[in-house]
Amino acid sequence: MHPVFLKFGIFEIRYYGLMYAIAFFLGLYLAKKEAKRLNIDTNLIEDYVFVAMISGLLGGRLYYVLLESHYYFAHPAEIIAVWHGGMAIHGGIIGGIIGTMIFAKVKKINIWTLGDIAAAPVILGQSIGRIGNLMNGDAHGVPTFAPLNIMLGNDFNQWWAEYLKGMHQGLKNLVPWGITFPVGTPAGNEFPNIPTHPVMVYEMILNFLAFLSIWFIFRKKKLAKGSLFFIYLIEYGVIRSIVTIFRADDLEILGLRAPHVASLIMITVGIYLLKKKNSKV
């Protein structure tokens, strides 16, 4: 795995940035296609996609910095060093929602309509973005020999410290598809020469399946405005809750994994609003 796609002298194109660009333009195409179906001005959607992307990136960075404030307060210059990593998808979702609310109010367009237009492009973009994580070796998983009960119990860090002391040796890989990342990547530095769960691939596949369900199934059903967005919240909340079990680098809130907390909120809100909005349809 290597983070650089192409390099010309001092100029380089990284996979992460390339995946962002692909996700943006493909998402814009899908959003405009859906806008046409709903008889909405596509020029308005171009502006909206740009606003949502910027607010999502800002939200993702701010969320990460706040949860890792002990580090960033000690190294304030690193706050803007996004090329060193440090984005959180749940913060990006929050930022995107805030950007959508502001845009909807300024342009006087129904916020749930915008949410429906964004649902499929966003989850597809998240799927594409995980390719960048794979090439970077970040957003990585735990070693494939880590017991499932340790991962479920959120005791991995303590267990890993004991493993490094030689208290857990000779363990067998539980799955055959682990990936060993090179030293110099976040995964390779933390787990040198050790196969890890390719959680980026897990989420890439699950996100793509969620995209297919929203675009080809739920989009064609007679549902209340906002329903596609609510389904996105539910589906991604479930996906991230599953994937987080195998992640080694997730943030924490009061000793709990932050993605589990945020995902539970997403699922609960999504189910509540989906039922409420469709009760009269």
Binding residues: 130
- Which residue type is seen at 107? K
* Alpha carbons 279 and 254: distance in angstroms, whole number: 36
Angle of helix 111-136 versus helix 227-244 axis, rounded to 10: 30
